[in-house]
Amino acid sequence: TEELPKKPSWLKVRMPISPEITRIKKTLRKHNLHTVCEEASCPNLGECFHGGTATFMIMGDICTRRCPFCDVAHGRPNALNADEPRELAEAIADMRLNYVVITSVDRDDLRDGGADHIGQCITEIRQHHPKTEIEVLVPDFRGRADVALEILKDTPPDVFNHNLETVPSLYRKVRPGASYEGSLKLLQGYKALRPEVKTKSGLMLGVGETNEQVLEVLKDLRAHGVDMLTLGQYMQPSRHHLAIDRWVTPEDFEWLGERAREMGFVHVASGPLVRSSYHADQQAHGKTVR
Ligand code: SF4
Ligand code: SF4
């Protein structure tokens, strides 16, 4: 049995405990909500919760896809919970979160891929706690992108995020069932409908790509009007998941981040621990995140 590659020192973080984090966790349990932060044992949880940010996973915890890097269960999902948008909004108000990321499993079983449900969540949060800034991290709505965009344009978030995850030559291996061009078009399509909303995308590095290939993807993102970028290290959830190809060094992240800024991204977060939602509040406000 092969061992997971040993983590370099820059990926070891300590999990702080604070009254703030305890309070947030209690509220989450009360409202029966799922966060990616807890479920993915995200190394940044302490920092994010402490700063009033969390990433919620809506539309259930069973995905219709099976990406080999992802730890989410797959299979036949449950019916949508019609109360979820209100429950989510109440919890966010309760927790006094100032920035939330709303993400979901892929719902290829739904006619609109879940776009209407996502829109309802945004509407409810705006009503219950207008101060909260909202980032949606959406699925690719494969085959339904036009329908989904038509719905989503009516309830704009503050940031519209969709991750490309990796370079096109690795799609078949890393994102089976997804399309590189389709994802780029989704980002471009939203920008065309809502030019005032920032668009954002991200890649996880260390799955077999080269830095040169990453630069090509960054060019494509800029050519499709994407404003913000995140680059982070892929971490293998278990030895049954996609293997790590390399530990990208902090210097390489720094270098890639610099190239991205030169290309004109208004915000770039690039570093080993960066996640799509890491310091999302600061990313949205143009502060430097590394
Ligand atoms: Fe949650 Fe994202 Fe922060 Fe991790 S980086 S704790 S997933 S908000
Ligand atoms: Fe995980 Fe998203 Fe892939 Fe579903 S579509 S398996 S949630 S990465």
| Residue 224 near ligand 2, beta carbon < 6 Å | no
pLDDT, one tens digit per residue, over 126-158 is 999 999 999 999 999 999 999 999 999 999 999
Run of H or E residues at 181: helix 180-193
Within 10 A of 226 (CB to CB), how many other CB atoms are there?
27
- Indicate the pLDDT class of residue 13, thresholds 50, 70 and 90: low
* Residue closest by Cα to atom 1 of ligand 1: 37
Its ipTM equals 0.93
| Residue 230 near ligand 1, beta carbon < 6 Å | no
Look at residue 233 and give its three-state secondary structure: strand
**Interior/surface letters 27-38, b for 16+ CB within 10 angstroms, e for the rest:** bbeebebbbbbb
Contact 163, 276 (CB under 8 A): yes
| Residue 53 near ligand 1, beta carbon < 6 Å | yes
pLDDT, one tens digit per residue, over 165-204 is 999 999 999 999 899 999 999 999 999 999 999 999 999 9
Residue 1, pLDDT score: 46
Task: State the distance from the centre of ligand 1 to the C-alpha of 33, rounded, in angstroms.
Answer: 15
Q: Is the pLDDT of residue 248 over 90?
A: yes
| Residue 72 near ligand 2, beta carbon < 6 Å | yes
According to CATH, the topology of domain 9-284 is: TIM Barrel (3.20.20)
Of 275 and 262, more confident: 262
Contact 231, 253 (CB under 8 A): yes
d(CA 203, CA 58): 22
- Indicate the pLDDT class of residue 8, thresholds 50, 70 and 90: confident
Among 34, 62, 63, 161, say which to mutate for ligand 2: greatest number of ligand atoms within 8 Å of CB.
Answer: 63
Residue carrying structure tokens 């259930």: 60
Of 106 and 7, more confident: 106
Angle between helices 180-193 and 145-152 (to 10 degrees): 30
Measured CA angle at 115 (ends 109, 117), to 5 deg: 90
d(CA 11, CA 3): 17
| Residue 106 near ligand 2, beta carbon < 6 Å | yes
Among 33, 38, 101, say which to mutate for ligand 1: greatest number of ligand atoms within 8 Å of CB.
Answer: 101
List the chain domain ranges.
Answer: 9-284
Task: State the distance from the centre of ligand 2 to the C-alpha of 69, rounded, in angstroms.
Answer: 8
Task: Please tell me the number of the ligand nearest to residue 276's CA.
Answer: 1
Look at residue 182 and give its three-state secondary structure: helix
| Residue 132 near ligand 1, beta carbon < 6 Å | no
Residue carrying structure tokens 């982070």: 232
